[in-house]
Amino acid sequence: MKIKINECIPQECSALLLQKGYNTETVYQEGLQGAPNNEVWSASQKEQRFFITTDLDFSDIRYYKPGEYEEEKMS
C-alpha cells in the first residue's frame, strides 16, 4: 500500500508505517508543507497514495472525493 502522510500527522507515524513495510511518504519529504490543499491532494491522487490527515478541510467530499479527483471542481 502506498501512503502519503499530511503535515498535521506526527512524522513518527511515517516511521512506524515504514517499519511495517508500507511505502510511505510525507508532505515534508516532497516539500509540500504549507502548500494549498488542492496541491497536496493532487499529488496524493497522482501518486495513487492513500492520504492520511486530520485536516478537516479534506472532509468535504464535494471537493475531495475518496478514490476520485476532479481538478475542475477545485477552481
- Tell whether the model's pLDDT for residue 12 goes beyond 80: yes
- Tell whether the model's pLDDT for residue 55 goes beyond 60: yes
pLDDT, mean of residues 43-66 = 87
Q: Which range of residues forms the domain containing residue 57?
A: 2-74
- Tell whether the model's pLDDT for residue 73 goes beyond 80: no
- Tell whether the model's pLDDT for residue 40 goes beyond 90: yes
- Tell whether the model's pLDDT for residue 72 goes beyond 70: no
Report the domain count for the chain: 1
**Phi then psi for 34, rounded to 5 degrees?**
80, -5
**Phi then psi for 26, rounded to 5 degrees?**
-115, 160
- Tell whether the model's pLDDT for residue 52 goes beyond 90: yes
- Tell whether the model's pLDDT for residue 59 goes beyond 90: no
Cell digits for 40?
A: 497536496
